[in-house]
Amino acid sequence: MGQALPKPALRPYLPADTAVLAEIFVAAIEQLTGDDYSEAQQQAWASAVDDEDKFGARLAGQLTLIATQQNAPVGFASLKGADHIDLLYVHPGAVGQGVAKLLIDALEKLAGARGAIKLTVDVSDNAAEFFAKRGYVATQRNTVTLNGEWLANTTMQKTLAAGAAPGASS
């Protein structure tokens, strides 16, 4: 559907990106998760960026990568520590073009460089198939409370390829 946009590029997060990433976060939740979450759950989830300073601190405290098309951010993902993917959001206008794949491929390489032998991620129901396609396996079902709403997600795990982690034996 729609015309193909130019191939996305990656760059590191800068504090000045916070507002546009908050917009992508809210748009992705509102427009891409409605099959799996109620409107009240979506609102509670999206409220995580109401405090922009707190959101900026979260992005800055992790290894956050931004995917751009024609220099404009269209998606972002973050690695917390060496081995946990915290955030992955793609603007609804840019989905289905490999943006998330580009971001996660890069984070997997960076996790390997940080010595990780496996990666975990708490995956929303709408994104489970994306991660399953990339070799992530469900290990645990969770329920979390956000702003008084209960939301379900699944912890998924992927063992990184041998050689990705220097000195790793499995």
Ligand X SMILES: CC(C)(COP(=O)(O)OP(=O)(O)OC[C@H]1O[C@@H](n2cnc3c(N)ncnc32)[C@H](O)[C@@H]1OP(=O)(O)O)[C@@H](O)C(=O)NCCC(=O)NCCS
Residues in contact with ligand X by the rule CB under 6 A: 28, 32-33, 88-90, 95-101, 121, 123-124, 126-127, 129-130, 133
Question: Which of residues 130 and 168 has its CB atom nearest to ligand X in the complex?
Answer: 130
CA-based nearest residue to 24, from 77, 85, 83: 77
Question: Which of residues 26 and 117 has its CB atom nearest to ligand X in the complex?
Answer: 26
Question: Which of residues 45 and 116 has its CB atom nearest to ligand X in the complex?
Answer: 45
Phi-psi region of 100 (alpha: psi -120 to 50; beta: other; left: phi over 0): alpha
Smallest distance from the beta carbon of 166 to ligand X, in angstroms?
A: 27
Smallest distance from the beta carbon of 95 to ligand X, in angstroms?
A: 3
- For every residue of 3-25, DSSP letters joined together read PPPPPPEEEE--GGGHHHHHHHH
Question: Which of residues 155 and 168 has its CB atom nearest to ligand X in the complex?
Answer: 155
Residues 85 and 104: beta-carbon distance below 8 Å: yes
Smallest distance from the beta carbon of 97 to ligand X, in angstroms?
A: 5
Q: How far is CA 11 from CA 26, 83, 106, 115, in A?
A: 21, 20, 11, 22
Smallest distance from the beta carbon of 123 to ligand X, in angstroms?
A: 5
